[in-house]
């Protein structure tokens, strides 16, 4: 570095320090672990949340089981939006959450979906017809939507019949991906992935009646790491509010 | 018994995948490495770079493109469907293709180094003695490049055993078809079955160490992969 260039460094540093001081004075950031099925709704909610509260939401998307492991091992998440209620309950029992912060933010709906128009006629006929090569589901051991899918298959007495056709995504996003790329003709996905403003936005689907599987109750918690972060508390409150619940419902969740 | 039958079938599948991939790579990789070692063509740089690509590309990139190209709308998928084979995603054959691409540099580069080390002179001498190219290959190149072949086979095999991302993206986690050890470990961790994950993961650590130990102990004074 030449002598002449040197004064440049402190001034750049000053700008960086100035910027970070500026942003932290403005608002708090909240690190959120989000179940993969809730990706689209949280993105919609995040922009409103940021506008309304001035806080910034930083989301990571993944499988609930994976997040559990990461949280237990010191991941910096402050709020956790799980795909089930048992994982947040477990964290609560193990003392990893802010006491009393657990609540159900959405109840998921399962859908059988094909990327092809008209492939599914809104009923279980195509599924039972069994004229496909691959049926995509999320890993039932790790993903609640995958577990619900196997419960539906059991109810329809299809487990043995489709056993050799099942392909598993590691989470609901991958189950969706296998169908959307056409590699699997159909698959069980979260309705939120294919639903917008009251209707299925592409391909064809069967919206599985709730009675066919255990309810997919999705719980949220404030984790210990977010105990002293006002933005974490604000997000939990915001999710219960009318604006967020309207968005959540528009993606096909119940509440 | 700490390992379940599902674990054993994942191990067996992984060994089959790695063995088959290694054999295919030795057959396919040898002519490529020979060409790269001796050619003066302008294509040497580009071909060498393409062979080395999987070294630096994230497995997600390879997995993503394989998922699209081998799927029903992709070029490869349409070709295999035309042949009446269906699509290759979610199949053992698909994993083999993915692994061959993914482990290619680990086989080609040690071979190429070995062939380069032999140099052109011995081959010229063989030619003046009227050895045809096959004679030269089997009587001169093969014996001299033996350590290179051993290194290539070991690295290709071990790297395929360690493959995860590509399999995850195109495999569909089907028992006895595409659920290899690395995916099985991931499954155990996701399902919070840590004890089971430990057994398999620990076995992988021991296996990988032994493979590399064998590799490094076998070439006492050599420092490169040739």
Confidence of residue A24 (pLDDT cuts 50, 70, 90): very low
- Chain A partners within 8 Å of B87 (Cβ): 183
- The 3-state secondary structure of B71-124 reads CCCCHHHHHHHHCCCCCCCCCHHHHHHHHHHHHHHHHHHHHHHHHHHHHHHHHH
- Distance (Å, rounded) from C-alpha A31 to C-alpha B117? 54
Q: Do A142 and B168 touch (CB under 8 A)?
A: no
What confidence score (pLDDT) does residue B203 get? 93
Class in CATH terms, A27-107+216-250: alpha beta
* Contact yes or no for B71 and A65 at CB 8 A: no
DSSP bridge partners of A206: A112
HSE-CB at A231 with a 13 A cutoff on CA atoms is: 24
- Which positions in chain A touch B71 (Cβ < 8 Å)? 181-183
pLDDT grade for A2, boundaries at 50, 70 and 90: very low
Domains detected in chain B: 5-218 (1.10.3720.10)
Query: Helices in chain B by DSSP H: which ranges?
Result: 5-38, 44-56, 59-70, 75-82, 92-128, 133-136, 142-144, 146-161, 165-171, 181-190, 194-218
In terms of pLDDT, which residue wins out, B190 or A158? A158
- Site of tokens 């993915």: B98
Q: Give me the pLDDT at residue A23, please.
A: 44
Chain A neighbors of B174, CB-CB under 8 A: 166-168
Q: What is the pLDDT of residue A142?
A: 82
The reported pLDDT for the residue numbered B215 is 87
Percent of chain A with pLDDT over 70: 89
Residue whose C-alpha is closest to residue B68's, from A183, A136, A48: A183
Report how far residue B212's alpha carbon sits from residue B218's, in angstroms, rounded to the nearest whole number: 10
Q: How many CB pairs under 8 A join A and B?
A: 59
pLDDT bucket at A14, cuts 50 / 70 / 90 = low
The secondary structure of residue A61, as a DSSP letter, is E
- With beta carbons less than 8 A apart as the criterion, state whether B42 and B121 touch: no
Partner residue opposite A183 with nearest CB, options B87, B191, B192: B87
Partner residues linked to A218 by β-bridges: A106
Pair A84, A64: CB distance under 8 Å: yes
Phi, psi dihedrals of residue B77, rounded to the nearest 5° = -60, -40
Question: Per residue of chain B (226 residues), what is the pLDDT tens digit?
Answer: 588 899 999 999 999 999 999 999 999 999 999 999 999 999 999 999 999 999 999 999 999 999 999 999 999 999 999 999 889 999 999 999 999 999 999 999 999 999 999 988 888 888 899 888 888 899 999 999 999 999 999 999 999 999 999 999 999 999 899 999 999 999 898 888 889 999 999 999 999 999 989 888 876 555 554 4
Quote the distance between the C-alpha of residue A245 and its chain's center: 15
* Beta-carbon-side half-sphere exposure of residue B126 (alpha carbons within 13 Å): 17
Residue in chain B lying closest to A141 (CA): B191
Q: What mean pLDDT do residues A109-120 have?
A: 96
CB contact under 8 A, B174 and A168: yes
Give the closest of B71, B168, B173 to A181, CB-based. B71
pLDDT at A10 over 60: no
Chain A residues near residue B186 by CB distance under 8 angstroms: 170
For B189, list phi and psi in degrees, rounded to 5: -65, -45
Q: Helix-strand-coil percent breakdown of chain A, rounded to 5? A: 45, 25, 30
Average pLDDT of span A63-91:
93
Question: Residues of A at the B interface (Cβ-Cβ below 8 Å)?
Answer: 63, 65-66, 68-69, 133-134, 136, 139, 141-142, 166-170, 174, 177-178, 181-184
Residue-wise pLDDT tens digits, A93-114: 999 999 999 999 999 999 999 9
Residue B179: closest C-alpha in chain A: A168
Name the β-bridge partners of A216: A108
Task: Locate B162 and state its tokens.
Answer: 């360690």
Q: Parallel, antiparallel, or unpaired for β A199-200 and A195-196?
A: antiparallel
User: In this complex, do B173 and A183 lie within 8 Å of one another by their Cβ atoms?
Assistant: no
Judged on CB neighbours under 10 Å (0-12, 13-18, 19+), A193 is buried
Q: Please give the full DSSP string across A109-145, using - where no structure is assigned.
A: -EEEEESSTTSS-SSSHHHHHT--S-EEEE-TTT-HH
Kindly list the domain boundaries of chain A, sorted by start residue: 27-107+216-250, 110-207
Which pLDDT score is estimated for A3?
A: 46
- pLDDT at residue number A197: 82
Helix A242-250 crosses helix A39-53 at what angle (to 10 degrees)? Answer: 160
Q: Residue B1: what pLDDT?
A: 59
Pairwise CB contact (< 8 Å): A181 & B68: yes
State residue A11's pLDDT score: 54
Which chain A residues are within 8 Å of B195, Cβ to Cβ? none
Q: Looking at CA atoms only, how far is residue B143 from chain A in angstroms? A: 45
Q: Which residues of A touch B68 (CB under 8 A)?
A: 181
Query: Is the fold of A27-107+216-250 the same as that of A110-207?
Result: yes
Residue B5 has which token pair? Answer: 């039958």
Q: What pTM did the predictor assign?
A: 0.83
Note the pLDDT tens digit of each residue in B72-85.
Answer: 999 999 999 999 98
Nearest CA in chain A to B90: A167
Specify the CATH superfamily of domain A110-207.
Answer: Periplasmic binding protein-like II (3.40.190.10)
Comparing CA positions, the residue from A108, A85, A66 lying closest to residue A194 is A108
Residue indicated by tokens 């040898």 = B30
DSSP class of residue A213 equals S
Please determine, for residue A35, whether its predicted confidence score (pLDDT) is greater than 90.
Answer: yes
Q: Are strands A29-35 and A79-81 parallel, antiparallel or unpaired?
A: parallel
């Amino acid at each position: 570095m030449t002598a002449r260039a040197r004064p440049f460094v402190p001034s750049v540093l000053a700008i960086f320090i100035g910027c970070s001081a500026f942003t932290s004075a403005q608002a708090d950031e909240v690190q959120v672990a989000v179940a993969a099925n809730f990706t689209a709704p949280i993105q919609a909610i995040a922009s409103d949340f940021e506008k309304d509260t001035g806080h910034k939401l930083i989301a990571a998307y993944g499988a609930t089981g994976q997040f559990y492991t990461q949280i237990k091992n010191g991941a910096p998440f402050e709020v956790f939006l799980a795909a089930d209620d048992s994982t947040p309950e477990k964290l609560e029992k193990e003392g990893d959450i802010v006491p009393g912060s657990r609540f159900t933010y959405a109840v998921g709906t399962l859908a059988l979906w094909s990327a092809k128009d008209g492939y599914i006629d809104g009923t279980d006929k195509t599924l039972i017809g069994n004229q496909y090569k691959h049926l995509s589901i999320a890993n039932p051991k790790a993903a609640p939507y995958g577990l619900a899918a196997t419960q539906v298959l059991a109810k329809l007495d299809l487990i043995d019949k489709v056993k050799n056709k099942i392909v598993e995504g590691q989470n609901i996003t991958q189950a969706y991906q296998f169908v959307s790329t056409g590699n699997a003709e159909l698959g069980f996905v979260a309705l939120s992935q294919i639903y917008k403003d009251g209707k299925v936005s592409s391909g064809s689907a069967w919206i599985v009646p709730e009675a066919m599987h255990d309810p997919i109750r999705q719980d949220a918690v404030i984790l210990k790491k977010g105990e002293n972060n006002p933005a974490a508390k604000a997000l939990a409150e915001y999710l219960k509010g009318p604006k967020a619940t309207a968005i959540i419902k528009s993606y096909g969740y119940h509440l | 018994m700490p390992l379940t039958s599902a674990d054993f079938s994942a191990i067996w599948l992984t060994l089959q995948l790695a063995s088959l991939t290694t054999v295919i790579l030795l057959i396919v990789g040898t002519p490529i490495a020979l060409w790269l070692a001796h050619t003066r063509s302008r294509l040497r740089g580009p071909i060498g770079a393409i062979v080395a690509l999987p070294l630096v590309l994230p497995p997600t990139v390879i997995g993503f493109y394989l998922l699209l190209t081998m799927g029903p709308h992709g070029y490869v998928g349409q070709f295999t469907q035309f042949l009446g084979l269906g699509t290759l995603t979610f199949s053992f054959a698909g994993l083999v293709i993915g692994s061959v691409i993914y482990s290619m540099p680990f086989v080609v580069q040690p071979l190429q180094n070995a062939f380069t080390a032999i140099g052109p002179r011995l081959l010229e001498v063989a030619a003046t003695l009227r050895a045809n190219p096959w004679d030269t290959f089997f009587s001169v190149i093969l014996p001299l490049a033996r350590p290179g072949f051993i290194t290539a086979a070991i690295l290709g095999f071990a790297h395929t055993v360690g493959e995860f991302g590509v399999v995850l993206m195109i495999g569909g986690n089907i028992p006895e078809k595409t659920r290899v050890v690395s995916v099985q470990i991931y499954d155990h961790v996701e399902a919070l079955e840590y004890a089971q994950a430990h057994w398999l993961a620990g076995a992988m650590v021991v296996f990988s160490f032994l493979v590399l130990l064998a590799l490094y102990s076998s070439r006492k004074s050599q420092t490169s992969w040739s």
